[in-house]
Structure formats: C-alpha cells, structure tokens
C-alpha cells in the first residue's frame, strides 16, 4: 500500500516556521508523510524595481560582486533554499515524519496543480501563511484551486499575540 502525504506549500525564500510546525504536527497526528513544495514567489514590477535599486545602491557603495549577484537572479539565494530544505528535512525526521521536498520555479497555484497531476498520494493541501498572506496568491486563485482539487485545502494563518 502506498504511503499517503500531506502537501505543504511554502515560498522558497520566506520564513515558514509557523506553518511548518503545524504541518509536521498534523502529519504526525494523522500518521501521514509530508510532501513539501517550495515555490518561487513571483515579484511584480514593484519588487523587481526594488531589487534593481538595491543592486544599484550596492554598486555605488563599491560592493560590485553583491550587485552582480542581485542582478543575476541572486545565486546566493539557491544556497539559502538548499539550507531551508535541509532544515525542513531535519525538523520532519526528528519528529518521525517521512518527508519529500520539491522546489519549483512556478507560481504556487501552477506548481500545486503539477504536484497533484501525478499519483503522488496527496490527501490534503496545506497552504503556509507566507503563501496566503501575499497578493500573489489571490482569493480568486484559491477559489479556482478549491473548485478543481479533489481533497481538502487548509490555509494556515499566522498566529498573532494579543497584548
């Protein structure tokens, strides 16, 4: 019998600790594995402009290598994605949860559809707080995903502390 998984979706370059802790605990409670899908956050024109201006500032300050890396797509980011994947893998393994980690350069909705197209044994989709709190994953895209998915979709909200 094939092992069943929960699909946890998070952005590659954003902190996902709150959503990860919930996903690992839920997988452990349900006796399932965790399939982590780390997607690339699509930056709009404003984000691209901000990155370009930051690179210019580094170049003006004499940090030419840093500026080149930023303009080349931030190759240093690839190392941080690998580091995050290792952290997630360690967190799952120490909790006794089987884990499968995939990265994608696609937007979240398209990457999720691709993950579901194969027979991956996915029982539930968990959208991390960093995915649902950005304007990249709109209510319209979530509604479309809900209509087409054949399993439950859970959006994980970030916890706030009341003072």
Q: What is the CB neighbour count within 10 angstroms for residue 126?
A: 25
pLDDT bracket for residue 75 (50, 70, 90): very low
Dump pLDDT digits (tens) for 121-158: 888 999 988 887 766 667 777 788 778 778 888 888 77
pLDDT bracket for residue 37 (50, 70, 90): very high
Q: What is the CB neighbour count within 10 angstroms for residue 136?
A: 18
Phi and psi at 131, nearest 5°, equal: -85, -45
Dump pLDDT digits (tens) for 58-71: 778 787 776 666 56
The pTM of this model reads: 0.72
Fold of 5-42+81-155: Rossmann fold (3.40.50)
pLDDT bracket for residue 89 (50, 70, 90): very high
Q: Please tell me the predicted confidence (pLDDT) of residue 124.
A: 92
Burial zone of 102 (CB within 10 Å; 0-12 exposed, 13-18 middle, 19+ buried): middle
């Amino acid at each position: 019998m094939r092992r069943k998984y929960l699909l946890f979706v998070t952005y590659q370059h954003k902190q996902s600790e709150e959503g990860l802790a919930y996903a690992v605990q839920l997988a452990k409670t349900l006796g399932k594995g965790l399939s982590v899908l780390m997607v690339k956050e699509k930056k709009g024109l404003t984000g691209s402009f901000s990155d370009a201006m930051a690179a210019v500032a580094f170049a003006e300050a004499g940090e030419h290598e840093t500026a080149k890396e930023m303009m080349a797509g931030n190759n240093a980011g690839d190392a941080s994605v690998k580091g995050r994947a290792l952290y997630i893998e360690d967190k799952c393994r120490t909790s006794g949860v089987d884990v499968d980690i995939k990265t994608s350069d696609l937007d979240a909705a398209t990457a999720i559809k691709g993950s579901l197209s194969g027979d991956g044994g996915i029982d539930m989709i968990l959208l991390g707080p960093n995915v649902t709190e950005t304007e990249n994953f709109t209510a319209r895209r979530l509604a479309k995903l809900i209509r087409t998915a054949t399993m439950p979709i859970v959006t994980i909200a970030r916890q706030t502390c009341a003072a």
